[in-house]
């Protein structure tokens, strides 16, 4: 995470936005104290990754249901 003063953030706001759009998270400080964080908005890709992680976690914790009594050839049988 990058840190920038409020004055520099104000002077170079276009550059700050460009860096954030490339994935950088920036903390703005005023008089040495953090006052804001500028971060990219999570997009559909981040939402999909999160949903996938939650689904896989839930599936790993579920007991196996039913026996697998088919072969690969039966699975792809026309």
**15 in a domain, yes or no?**
yes
Checking if the pLDDT of 67 tops 80, the result is no
Checking if the pLDDT of 52 tops 80, the result is yes
Checking if the pLDDT of 77 tops 90, the result is no
| Residue whose token pair is 């006052």 | 35
Q: Which domain holds residue 54?
A: 1-62
Measure the CA–CA gap between 49 and 27, rounded to whole angstroms. 25
**pLDDT at res. 41:** 87
Domain count, the chain: 1
Q: Is the pTM of this model over 0.95?
A: no
**31 in a domain, yes or no?**
yes
Task: Look up the CATH number of the domain holding residue 27.
Answer: 3.40.1620.10
**4 in a domain, yes or no?**
yes
The helix or strand, by DSSP H or E, that contains position 3, with its residue range, turns out to be strand 2-5
**13 in a domain, yes or no?**
yes
């Amino acid at each position: 995470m990058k840190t920038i003063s409020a004055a520099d953030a104000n002077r170079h706001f276009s550059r700050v936005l460009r860096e954030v759009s490339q994935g950088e998270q920036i903390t703005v400080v005023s008089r040495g104290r953090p006052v804001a964080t500028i971060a990219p908005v999570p997009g559909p890709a981040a939402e999909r990754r999160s949903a996938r992680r939650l689904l896989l976690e839930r599936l790993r914790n579920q007991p196996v249901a039913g026996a697998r009594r088919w072969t690969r050839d039966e699975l792809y049988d026309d």
